[in-house]
Amino acid sequence: MADLAGKVALITGGSRGVGLATARRLAREGAAVALVARDPVRLADAERDVTAAGGRALALVADVTDADALASAVERVEFQLGGLDVVIANAGMGRYGPVADLAPATWREVIETNLTGAFLTVRAALPAIRRRGGGHVVAISSGAGKRGYPNMTAYCASKFGLQGFMDALAAELAAEPIKCTTIVPGSILTDFGVRTREDRARSGDTFLDPDDVAEAIVQVLVQPAHAWTQEVTLWPR
């Protein structure tokens, strides 16, 4: 997939942050992008953002925990954009606190969004990717999928699980022309969890920009067919 012109990508969590930055970057490479998110207002803004820059975008309101909604989204992508080559499982949420105070419903919400949501997204997309003769599955993990942090048990568990899911998926698809890549970024300057982008900027800590992650995604997508990057770890400095 050395040339992204004419390719079609579906991005969950596509209305802001890393998802929107990636949509813009892929559009500059000539790819059509389907943006999946829950908030129709933000999603419409994101679609206008991409199309105003000369890209081709399709906004799809769907929750990644809803298998039927994702299946319908993929059907629309195939019908309106002509197929599907790349799926980027980016949607995620952060809910934090000590285990003793963490409500079971909060635990389930994080796991269902960050881990089950990725599974359902990939499951819905794979038949369409196979119909195109192959493609690429990308998942956005986190440094919290490699190391445990206090008050982040649900988030860490979801991202550790995502790492395992993607490793197993890569082995499962090894005989097919479908590559699987996990992007493992450190802290990113976005609105996430209880901290806004402005809060993070004022903290004095170092952060990645969403465009940094988007660039890493493009680099793995444009590698020649015989090359495969299974995992990219990206830290701010």
215: amino acid identity, one letter: E
Determine the Cα–Cα distance for residues 1 and 137; give it in Å rounded to an integer: 12
DSSP string across 185-231? E--BSS-BTTB-HHHHHHT----B-HHHHHHHHHHHHTS-TT----E
In the chain, where does DSSP find H-type helix?
17-28, 40-52, 67-81, 104-111, 117-131, 153-172, 197-202, 210-221
Would you call 188 exposed, middle or buried from its count of C-beta atoms within 10 A (0-12, 13-18, 19+)? buried
Amino acid at 64: V
- Rounded Cα distance, 230 and 121, in Å: 19
From the list 96, 119, 155, 165, the catalytic residue is 155
Residue 174: both structure tokens together: 């090894």
Concatenate the DSSP letters of all residues of 100-121 into one string.
GG--HHHHHHHHIIIIIHHHHH
155 tagged catalytic: yes
- The catalytic residues are 155
